[in-house]
Chains A and B, each alone.
Chain A
Amino acid sequence: DPALIFDLGGKFDKSFNEAAYNGAQRWTEETGGSYKELEMQSEAQREQALRRLAETGANPIVMTGFAFGNTLEEVAPDYPETKFVIIDAVVEQPNVKSIMFAEQEGSFLVGVLAAMASESKTVGFIGGMDVPLIRQFGCGYAQGVKHQEADAKILANMTGTTPAAWNDPVKGGELTKAQISQGADVVYAAAGGTGIGVLQAAADADILSIGVDSNQNHLHPGKVLTSMVKRVDNAVYDAFTAGENLETGAQVLGLAEGGVGYALDDNNKDLITEEMKTRVDEVSQQIQSGEIEVHDYYSDNTCPALSF
């Protein structure tokens, strides 16, 4: 059986753990198969969980979150027969498949949409805990905005510096209001549970918001411009489907691979005009073809479009 390990946020984190969970559920429903799942309780457990799962014969073992990288590096060689899949980090071992998402590309797209939807030409970004991953989101977004609207203003806030920053909808709402008061009329939240407060505050103030990770358009139909989806669910689904025959090696899932994108559904079809859709698809093509190069924050820890 395959296995899935969620990182510390837990499987209902409204973010990518939850997306991974959804992928696994989909696989179960479609194949009728079963899988093991674990939620991390503490840092020290990572190794324990990996080894125990490997010893019980689970294969492949999928884990979400860069925090597993270091541990997997050590554990993987001890279980050459087992395949591991790590999402959001690169581990160079023969039996490991590393899946990275080009969050900057998806964020770039929603940035373009935000710039087009914005009347004030001021848009906002609200991150959760201030970590590089979230900066990657913010940076891609800012580039997209600037690409579309070179003199647009981008307001960016991080919620905090402790894990509490992922679960503070009150502060999320307050940051949103602060950005609204500075003119923002589209706000992109990459902040886990805090994002719920962001989307709520935006809906209350009748401005647009952008969800993240999974499709959050349904949370406030007609008020969420779109969501930057990161198809962790697909990655998990594919890994589970491939089973023990999984191909290892590093893989970056960007726009081209359908790993990231923007969500369009009944809830936001009135918000995304034909013009916007044409434009964003065009930009998407340009990114895929390399015509537009989206700067990767990780490459040099700087962002050309936004300062943190």
Chain B
Amino acid sequence: MDFATIIQILDSAIRLMTPLLLACLAGLYSERSGVFDIGLEGKMLMAAFSSAAVAAVTGNPWLGLLAGIGGSMALAAIHGIASITFRGNQLIAGVAINFLASGLTILMGQRFFGLGGRTPSLTGEGRFGEITLPLADTLRNVPVLGRIYADLISGHSILVYVAFALVPLTWWVLFRTRFGLRLRAVGENPASVDTAGVSVTRLRFAAIAICGILCGLAGAYLATGLSAGFVKEMTAGRGFIALAALIFAKWRPWAALFSTFLFGLLEAIANRYPDLDMGLITVPSMFMNALPYILTVIILAGFVGRAIPPRAGGEPYVKER
């Protein structure tokens, strides 16, 4: 494997991990506040659709992004009302959101654009373009570091940089601010927050709203950054992978960066080597496709150990029964 290949694989891994990272951080806020979210997939899908739809109509990806966030937030609101206000089962609410998004996106797409659920393809300014960082072209000729800067670090969509910046930001919010302290507390023991005179409901809604925003970014990146429009079911299970990455990361931001990178990397490797020729036998492409999942299981079994979720996670906060 030469240097250029490594750069290419890493570059691909970065693009592939970005939606996972955004969704994973989204889930992190929600679950840290004690609301389990298996509806990440649905929110991303809805965001992908609404961002692509609005970007297609207006030709402006930023308006698309706003719409994406709006779409995802609408589903987040449903999740909140069901699982916080009415103390419903968080998992069921998440399942419902996934179905809802899967149906509604196509229904609306068909109604607005008549393309069987697709949105028209975005062209030129309608998408988030790749940003060339300053001096990327001049530095490209510097050995190793220059290549890394120019080909790996530079040249991504703005949302990629946002996603990476969100990791330290999330860490900082969680562990250095009042809001973060309360958020973590409410996910561990809501009664402690309640008896301190802080509203459990408000905190959890805030967390869910942030989750909605981040899923919005993830969806918008899929539809208006990585591709040029919406195709039905285009999230293709990434919400579930993000959830797995979140558990993998034991609900910690830096670890989330690592775990989503791992998923991105494994997928990039499988993409690059569709059938691995290992001398005697050739590993069939099906197994290269499944490789990221197999390796995840192995890593999980071998190195990660028990992941303990936020203690109050999954349970609605009920004072009086």
Contact = CB atoms under 8 A, between A and B. Distances in A.
A and B together in one complex: yes
B4 A181 contact: yes
Nearest to B19: A170
B256 interface: no
A158 interface: yes
B237 A10 contact: no
Contact of A170 (B232, B234, B272, B274): B234
Nearest to B237: A164
A11 B237 contact: no
10 closest cross-chain pairs (CB), A and B: A12-B116, A181-B8, A169-B227, A164-B236, A193-B231, A168-B236, A157-B274, A178-B271, A167-B233, A170-B226
A155 B285 CA distance: 13
B321 to A, nearest CB: 42
B282 interface: yes
Interface in B1-44: 4-5, 8-9, 11-12, 15-16, 19
Interface in A134-181: 155-158, 160-161, 164, 167-175, 177-178, 181
Contacts of B284: 308
Nearest to B233: A167
Nearest to A193: B231
Nearest to A201: B227
A130 interface: yes
B289 interface: yes
Contacts of B286: 130, 158, 161
Contact of B236 (A167, A173, A200): A167
Interface residues of B, number: 37
Contacts of B116: 10-13, 18
A158 B274 contact: yes
A219 B274 contact: no
Contacts of A197: 226-227, 231
Contacts of B117: 12
B289 A161 contact: yes
A200 B118 contact: no
B16 A169 contact: no
B193 to A, nearest CB: 39
B233 A219 contact: no
B271 A308 contact: no
Interface in A164-217: 164, 167-175, 177-178, 181-182, 193, 196-197, 200
B115 A177 contact: no
B150 to A, nearest CB: 14
A307 interface: yes
A10 B233 CA distance: 13
B118 A178 contact: no
A14 B227 CA distance: 16
B187 interface: no
A307 B234 contact: no
A173 B226 CA distance: 8
Nearest to A171: B236
A200 B227 contact: yes
A307 B282 contact: yes
Contact of A196 (B8, B229, B290): B229
Interface residues of A, number: 34
B67 interface: no
Nearest to B270: A157
B234 A174 contact: no
B274 A193 contact: no
Given A130-B286, A169-B226, 4 more contacts: A12-B116, A12-B118, A196-B231, A197-B226
B132 interface: no
Given A161-B286, A168-B234, A178 B226 contact: no
B112 to A, nearest CB: 14
B189 interface: no
Contact of B271 (A14, A18, A157, A161): A157
29 contacts: A11-B116, A12-B117, A158-B289, A161-B286, A161-B289, A164-B233, A164-B236, A164-B237, A167-B231, A167-B233, A168-B236, A170-B16, A173-B226, A173-B227, A174-B12, A174-B15, A178-B9, A181-B4, A181-B5, A182-B5, A193-B231, A196-B227, A196-B228, A200-B227, A219-B121, A307-B275, A307-B282, A308-B275, A308-B285
Contacts of B227: 169-170, 172-173, 196-197, 200
Nearest to B290: A161
Contact of A12 (B5, B16, B115, B272): B115
Contacts of B121: 196, 200, 219
A190 to B, nearest CB: 14
A164 B232 CA distance: 10
A155 B121 CA distance: 27
Interface string A1-41: 00000000011111000100000000000000000000000
A169 B282 contact: no
A200 B228 contact: yes
Interface in B262-312: 267-268, 271-272, 274-275, 282, 284-286, 289-290
A169 to B, nearest CB: 4
A182 B9 CA distance: 11
A178 B272 contact: yes
A76 B58 CA distance: 51
A196 B274 CA distance: 20
Contacts of B274: 155-158
